[in-house]
Structure 1
Amino acid sequence: MSSVVGWDIGGANLKAARAEDGVIVAVTQRPCAPHLGLAHLEEAIRAAAQTIGAAPRHAVTMTAELSDAFENRARGVASIAAIFSHELSGAEIRFYAGAKGFVAKAQLAEAAAAVASANWRASAELVARHCEKALFIDMGSTTTDIIPIRDQAISALGDSDATRLQHGELAYAGLLRGAPATGVAQAPFAGRWTALVDESFATIADVHRILGNIPPGLDTVATVDGRPKSVEASRARLARLVGLDLADASPAQWDALARFFATVQMRRIEDQIVLLASRATFVEGAPVVGAGIGRRLVAGWAERTGRAYRSFDEFVPATPEAKAAAGDCAPACAVALLAGEF
């Protein structure tokens, strides 16, 4: 039996997917915070490896090299590769380098720029093999990838975080991390537009927790104040953004504020889609393929705008037990399946 484990090593979560003869049979993810110390990364790799099981081959993609734990991205790629190779010594390991394919550790010095934050391309490459055209949208905990696919090929102009941001193919808008008020200076509350407190009192996770948008078991990011991940505590954190306490307004008013922030966030993503459509007219009629823990929001947007929608996990051969998680952890599943070819 041919076994390969795909890894997606992020700055907030680490994900792993096990493929047996081209079928995903297990998926797991762990919180991972390398900016708090590289021991956190080592522990996450060990825990995930124990859960997912041993395999002779491993395929790795990453975004954690962006962490401020590292002096620069190239150093981050090298450090993550060294840690990973140490933790899984004896196994055959390849690193995903985007359009360059998979490379060995010895090639990382010259391929570091291609390896850095290339996980989006692995997922998009898998989708392109199944779709003549599509708009692939992967909404994760921190970012949203927006990738046009045409003629069964990736039609993106960017190949790095910097160029993808410039071309509208990457938005720092995720389900858990980031500030609720990103992009706005005021919000409607109690019948008035009010300026917002420019402090880190809440995260976008508080917004989506209030609205019930976070899938069970995936609320992995710590709260900013160390208090519970309850709806009431989340409302209290949002209250501070308008200079108030939880008791100063009704639950319905706090929920309305949360809906405003969620709408603003989705509007930022929609703006990027409009930018893509302005350069590639096929985007308007392309079906949407959603992935990531926020794909339910992507599906909702597709329905509101009259677009056909498909979920990433439709394209992933997986056991029933692993099917749903495959959509949450698209890059890890993608590199596990693509690596079956090296």
Structure 2
Amino acid sequence: MYSIIAGFDIGGAHLKVARVENGRVTAAQTVAMPLWLGMHTLDEALEATRHLYADAPVCAFTMTGELSEAYATRAEGVQGLLDEIVRRFPASTNLVYTIGSGLVPVAEARRVPMEVASANWHATASLIARLQRDALFVDMGSTTTDIIQVRDGKVLNRGATDAGRLRSGELVYTGYVRSFPIAVASEAPVRGQFVPLMNEYFASMSDVFRLLGVLREEDDQHRTADNGEKTVPGSVARLSRLVGHDAGDLEDYEWKQIALWFAERQLRSIHDAAFLVSTGLPDDAPLVGAGIGRWQLQRLAQRLDRPFIDLADLIPADEQARLDASNAAPSAVVALLAAGTGL
């Protein structure tokens, strides 16, 4: 087993990188990477995380960036990102996660692009299946939420592609910071009346959770809807536009109630999907949560009457790296899988 392995999750909006030394995650980092703006964003993200992988003889990769507007199709995107891996990591042994065969060399991954495309959820679920016999695995990131059943030590996904997982409820396209309030609700309560929302990109869910006091600012790495400040007053101003008001029209506690409404509406959609996906799972099986949206996931576990376990508490990791590793779960997991942890 190599003593140092780096794991990468190449997304369309973020790059996640984790460092594993002697079978333990020692560091992890998530950096903004708007891939739709061009490959220079990948260069910048890799430079920002170079300290995590520069001396790693083995690098393990998973991806969702093939969905980026940078590519015409998912298959083209997979091949394009594999090209980038080969070009940028010529000196390391490079492994790529596939749904059917786990980690494989790049040449083999090229033959099964649809098993590489957006397979990061399966990588994490497969490790959880080794560490927790029964679980409802939920990963809520900046943009999407993955919900997968693990039973009897096996990953029991019903869908394998994005389309299939959307139909099965295993992929809910809502996230903790980049989703829009207008995507989770069509109206909001304002002083005892439901007001239809203005269908404009005036705010994001990061504004909602900032106003509620449950957002870590380091998790909100993209610009705001109005390019304004990432402050509570700034978030109130952005949310106020959705209901046709100015920030000063309502009291602070009223804006907080409206923010709580949006958080509730988002959670309901995740709860509905989780209820379906958890069918047949033992009642005492925990919800294993990962990603930056753990505040929502803890509330979800309460509604499902299941214990909550953070992935950070399951994986082998140094204490100072646990939270970052859970937030960047797929990158940490592919590195651990490459190290043989849990096998």
> Scaled by the length of structure 2, what TM-score is found?
0.95
Superimposed CA distance per residue, residues 78-99 of structure 1 (whole angstroms, 9 cap, x where no aligned partner): 1112122222221111111123
C-alpha separation in 1, matches of 2:104 and 2:304? 40
Q: Pairwise CA RMSD of aligned residues?
A: 1.6
C-alpha separation in 2, matches of 1:272 and 1:3? 38
Residue 284 of structure 1 deviates from its aligned partner by 4.5
Map of 1:242 onto structure 2: 243
Map of 1:44 onto structure 2: 45
Map of 2:115 onto structure 1: 114
Give secondary structure in 2 for the equivalent of 1:281.
coil
Give secondary structure in 1 for the equivalent of 2:149.
strand
C-alpha separation in 2, matches of 1:300 and 1:289? 13
Map of 1:165 onto structure 2: 166
Map of 1:307 onto structure 2: 306
Give secondary structure in 2 for the equivalent of 1:99.
coil
Alignment of 1:277-296 (within 5 A): 277=278, 280-282=279-281, 284-296=283-295
Map of 2:8 onto structure 1: 7
Residues 184, 323 of structure 1: alpha-carbon distance in 2 compared, 3 angstrom cutoff: closer
C-alpha separation in 1, matches of 2:257 and 2:175? 20
C-alpha separation in 2, matches of 1:283 and 1:238? 40
Map of 2:134 onto structure 1: 133
**8 Å contact from structure 2 (residues 98, 109) kept in 1:** no
**8 Å contact from structure 1 (residues 120, 331) kept in 2:** yes
**8 Å contact from structure 2 (residues 19, 52) kept in 1:** no
Alignment of 1:171-320 (within 5 A): 171-277=172-278, 280-282=279-281, 284-320=283-319
C-alpha separation in 1, matches of 2:102 and 2:339? 12
Alignment of 1:51-70 (within 5 A): 51-70=52-71
Residue 51 of structure 1 deviates from its aligned partner by 4.3
- What amino acid does structure 2 have at the position aligned with 1:209? R
C-alpha separation in 1, matches of 2:119 and 2:18? 17
Structure 1: gaps (5+ residues): none
Map of 1:321 onto structure 2: 320
C-alpha separation in 2, matches of 1:89 and 1:48? 17
Residues 328, 183 of structure 1: alpha-carbon distance in 2 compared, 3 angstrom cutoff: closer
- What amino acid does structure 1 have at the position aligned with 2:280? T
Residue 10 of structure 1 deviates from its aligned partner by 0.9
Residue 340 of structure 1 deviates from its aligned partner by 1.7
- What amino acid does structure 2 have at the position aligned with 1:268? S
Deviates more, 1:328-337 or 1:175-184: 175-184
- What amino acid does structure 2 have at the position aligned with 1:20? E
Residue 290 of structure 1 deviates from its aligned partner by 0.7
Give secondary structure in 1 for the equivalent of 2:182.
coil
Residue 303 of structure 1 deviates from its aligned partner by 3.0
- What amino acid does structure 1 have at the position aligned with 2:333? A
Map of 1:332 onto structure 2: 331
Residue 234 of structure 1 deviates from its aligned partner by 0.6
Deviates more, 1:314-323 or 1:263-272: 314-323
Residue 52 of structure 1 deviates from its aligned partner by 4.2
Give secondary structure in 1 for the equivalent of 2:79.
helix
Structure 2: gaps (5+ residues): none
Percent of residue pairs identical = 40
Residue 276 of structure 1 deviates from its aligned partner by 2.0
C-alpha separation in 2, matches of 1:204 and 1:16? 24
Residue 103 of structure 1 deviates from its aligned partner by 2.3
Superimposed CA distance per residue, residues 58-106 of structure 1 (whole angstroms, 9 cap, x where no aligned partner): 0000011101111111111111121222222211111111232122222
Give secondary structure in 2 for the equivalent of 1:181.
helix
Give secondary structure in 2 for the equivalent of 1:142.
coil
Residues 283, 251 of structure 1: alpha-carbon distance in 2 compared, 3 angstrom cutoff: farther
- What amino acid does structure 1 have at the position aligned with 2:335? A
C-alpha separation in 1, matches of 2:234 and 2:324? 28
Map of 1:145 onto structure 2: 146
Residue 273 of structure 1 deviates from its aligned partner by 1.3
- Structure 1 consecutive aligned stretches of length 4 or more whose deviation exceeds 4 Å: none
Give secondary structure in 2 for the equivalent of 1:17.
strand
Residue 12 of structure 1 deviates from its aligned partner by 1.3
C-alpha separation in 2, matches of 1:305 and 1:212? 24
Give secondary structure in 1 for the equivalent of 2:229.
coil
- What amino acid does structure 1 have at the position aligned with 2:311? F
Map of 2:104 onto structure 1: 103
> Scaled by the length of structure 1, what TM-score is found?
0.95
C-alpha separation in 2, matches of 1:323 and 1:108? 30
